[in-house]
Amino acid sequence: MNLDAKIPSGPIAQKWDKHRFDLNLVNPANKRKYEVIVVGSGLAGASAAASLAELGYNVKCFCYQDSPRRAHSIAAQGGINAAKNYQNDGDSVYRLFYDTVKGGDYRSREANVYRLAQVSVNIIDQCAAQGVPFAREYGGLLANRSFGGAQVSRTFYARGQTGQQLLLGAYSALSRQIGLGKVKMYTRTELLDVVLVDGQAKGIVVRNMVTGEISRHSAHAVVLATGGYGNVFYLSTNAMGCNVTATHRAYKRGAAFANPCYTQIHPTCIPVSGDHQSKLTLMSESLRNDGRVWVPKSPDVAEKIRKGELHPSNVTDAERDYYLERKYPSFGNLVPRDVASRNSKEVCDEGRGVVSSGLGVYLDFADAINRMGESTVRERYGNLFDMYEKITGSNAYQNPMTIYPAVHYTMGGLWVDYNLMSNIPGLFVIGEANFSEHGANRLGASALMQGLADGYFVLPYTIGQYLADGGPDNRPDPDSSEFTGTEDEVRSRIDKLLSIKGKRTPTSFHRELGQIIWEKCGMARNKSGLEEAIRKIPELREEFWSNLNVPGENASINQSLELAGRVADFLEFGELMCRDALQREESCGGHFREEHQTAEGEAKRDDENFAFVGAWEYKGDQNEPQLHKESLEYEEVKMTQRSYK
Amino acid sequence: MGKELNLKLKVWRQDNTDDSGRFEEYDAKGIDTDMSFLEMLDVVNEGLNEDGKEPIAFDSDCREGICGSCSMVINGVPHGGQQGTTACQLHMRHFSDGMTITIEPWRASAFPVQRDLVVDRTAFDRIQQAGGFVSVRTGSVPDANATPVPKEDADLAMDAAQCIGCGACVAACKNASAMLFVAAKVSHLSLVPQGQPERERRALAMVQKMDEEGFGSCTVTGSCEAVCPKQISLDFIARMNREYGCALIKKGTV
Looking at residue A267, what is its pLDDT? 93
B162 and A387 in contact by Cβ < 8 A? no
Q: Which of the four pLDDT bands, split at 50, 70 and 90, describes residue A257?
A: very high
Residue B174: Cβ within 10 Å count? 9
Q: Rounded to the nearest 5 degrees, what angle is found at the Cα of A83, between the Cα atoms of A78 and A5? A: 95
CATH code of the domain containing B141: 1.10.1060.10
CA distance A545 to A214: 22
Q: Looking at A76-80, A136-140, B18-22, which range is the least confident one?
A: A76-80
By percentage, how much of chain A surpasses pLDDT 90?
A: 89
Instruction: Mark whether B80 and B175 lie in a shared domain.
Output: no
The answer to whether B219 and A155 are in contact (CB under 8 A) is: no
- ipTM value, please give it: 0.98
Asked which of B98, B115, B132 is the last residue of a domain, the reply is: B115
Q: Which residues pair with A490 in a beta bridge?
A: none
User: Phi/psi of residue A363, each to 5°?
Assistant: -120, 105
A432, A462, A428: which is closest to A448 by C-alpha?
A432
Asked which of B65, B90, B115 is the last residue of a domain, the reply is: B115
Spell out the residues 6+ positions from residue B46 whose beta carbon is closer than 8 angstroms to its own: A505, A507, A508, B55
B231, B227, B234: which is closest to B87 by C-alpha?
B227
Looking at residue A337, what is its pLDDT? 84
Looking at residue A86, what is its pLDDT? 97
Q: What strands lie across the sheet with A35-39, from one edge to the other?
A: A183-186, A58-62, A35-39, A221-224, A427-429
B139 and A501 in contact by Cβ < 8 A? no
Looking at residue B1, what is its pLDDT? 56
CA–CA distances in Å: residue A37 to residues A114, A413, A488: 28, 19, 21
B230, B201, B129: which is closest to A68 by C-alpha?
B129
CA distance B166 to A241: 17
Looking at residue B84, what is its pLDDT? 94
Looking at residue A301, what is its pLDDT? 96
How many angstroms separate the CA of residue B187 from the nearest CA in chain A?
A: 11
For residue B89, the chain A residues in CB contact (below 8 A) are 387, 390-391
For residue B205, the chain A residues in CB contact (below 8 A) are none
User: Phi/psi of residue A525, each to 5°?
Assistant: -130, 150
Instruction: Mark whether B106 and B126 lie in a shared domain.
Output: no
pLDDT (tens, 9 = 90+) of chain B, 254 residues, equals: 578 999 999 999 999 999 999 999 999 999 999 999 999 999 999 999 999 899 999 999 999 999 999 999 999 999 999 999 999 999 999 999 999 999 999 999 999 999 999 999 999 999 999 999 999 999 999 999 999 999 999 999 999 999 999 999 999 999 999 999 999 999 999 999 999 999 999 999 999 999 999 999 999 999 999 999 999 999 999 999 999 999 999 988 76
CA distance A149 to A442: 10
How many angstroms separate the CA of residue B95 from the nearest CA in chain A?
A: 13
How many angstroms separate the CA of residue A320 from the nearest CA in chain B?
A: 25
The answer to whether A247 and A413 are in contact (CB under 8 A) is: yes
Spell out the residues 6+ positions from residue A371 whose beta carbon is closer than 8 angstroms to its own: none
* Secondary structure (DSSP) of A396-457: TTTS-EEEEEEEEEE--EE---TTSB-SSTTEEE-GGGB--S-TTSPPTT-HHHHHHIIIII
Is the pLDDT at A507 greater than 80, yes or no?
A: yes
Instruction: Mark whether B196 and B128 lie in a shared domain.
Output: yes
Instruction: Mark whether B226 and B175 lie in a shared domain.
Output: yes
Instruction: Mark whether B179 and B227 lie in a shared domain.
Output: yes
Q: Does B85 touch chain A (CB under 8 A)?
A: yes
Asked which of B65, B86, B115 is the last residue of a domain, the reply is: B115
For residue B158, the chain A residues in CB contact (below 8 A) are 133, 158-159, 165
A68 and B91 in contact by Cβ < 8 A? no
Mean pLDDT of A218-236: 98
For residue B162, the chain A residues in CB contact (below 8 A) are 159, 161, 164
A281 and B138 in contact by Cβ < 8 A? no
How many angstroms separate the CA of residue B214 from the nearest CA in chain A?
A: 19
Which residue in B67, B134, B138 is closest to A460 by CB distance?
B138
Mind listing the pLDDT tens digit for each residue in A276-310? 899 999 988 888 888 999 999 999 999 999 999 99
CA distance A380 to A382: 6
**Residues 200-229 in B contacting A (C-alpha not used; CB under 8 Å):** none
Spell out the residues 6+ positions from residue A223 whose beta carbon is closer than 8 angstroms to its own: A36, A37, A38, A39, A45, A48, A428, A429, A430, A459, A463
The answer to whether A573 and A232 are in contact (CB under 8 A) is: yes
Spell out the residues 6+ positions from residue A379 whose beta carbon is closer than 8 angstroms to its own: none
Question: If DSSP codes are grouped into helix, strand and coil, which group holds residue B119?
Answer: strand
Mean pLDDT of A484-506: 98
Which residue in B48, B49, B188 is closest to A133 by CB distance?
B188
Q: Looking at A355-359, A533-537, A572-576, which range is the least confident one?
A: A355-359
The answer to whether A287 and A384 are in contact (CB under 8 A) is: yes
Q: Which residues pair with A363 in a beta bridge?
A: A293, A401
Q: Does B23 touch chain A (CB under 8 A)?
A: no
How many angstroms separate the CA of residue B79 from the nearest CA in chain A?
A: 14
CA distance A122 to A484: 43
Q: Does B39 touch chain A (CB under 8 A)?
A: yes
B46 and A134 in contact by Cβ < 8 A? no
How many angstroms separate the CA of residue A178 from the nearest CA in chain B?
A: 7
Q: In total, how many domains does chain B have? A: 2
Q: Does B88 touch chain A (CB under 8 A)?
A: no
Spell out the residues 6+ positions from residue A14 whose beta carbon is closer than 8 angstroms to its own: none
Instruction: Mark whether B129 and B236 lie in a shared domain.
Output: yes
Interface with chain A: mutation pick from B119, B133, B143, B208, highest number of A CBs within 10 Å: B133
CB pairs under 8 A between A and B: 234
Write the CATH number of the domain with boundaries A265-408: 3.90.700.10
CA distance A220 to A572: 29
**Residues 156-185 in B contacting A (C-alpha not used; CB under 8 Å):** 157-158, 161-162, 164-165
Q: Report which residue type is found at B124.
A: F
Domain containing residue B205: 122-251
CA distance B54 to B56: 7
Q: Which of the four pLDDT bands, split at 50, 70 and 90, describes residue A494?
A: very high
Residue A317: Cβ within 10 Å count? 7
Q: Report which residue type is found at A60.
A: K
Interface with chain B: mutation pick from A73, A124, A164, highest number of B CBs within 10 Å: A164
Looking at residue A602, what is its pLDDT? 85
Interface with chain A: mutation pick from B18, B44, B64, highest number of A CBs within 10 Å: B64
For residue A392, the chain B residues in CB contact (below 8 A) are 34
Map out the domains of chain A as residue ranges. 265-408
Q: Which of the four pLDDT bands, split at 50, 70 and 90, describes residue A382?
A: confident
Looking at residue A167, what is its pLDDT? 98
Q: Rounded to the nearest 5 degrees, what angle is found at the Cα of A431, between the Cα atoms of A515 and A88? A: 115
Instruction: Mark whether B135 and B77 lie in a shared domain.
Output: no
Spell out the residues 6+ positions from residue A643 whose beta carbon is closer than 8 angstroms to its own: none
CA distance A24 to A221: 16
For residue A50, the chain B residues in CB contact (below 8 A) are 138
Interface with chain B: mutation pick from A559, A561, A562, A567, highest number of B CBs within 10 Å: A559
Mind listing the pLDDT tens digit for each residue in A314-350? 999 999 999 999 999 988 888 888 889 999 999 999 9
C-alpha dihedral, A278 to A432 to A283 to B37, nearest 10°: -20
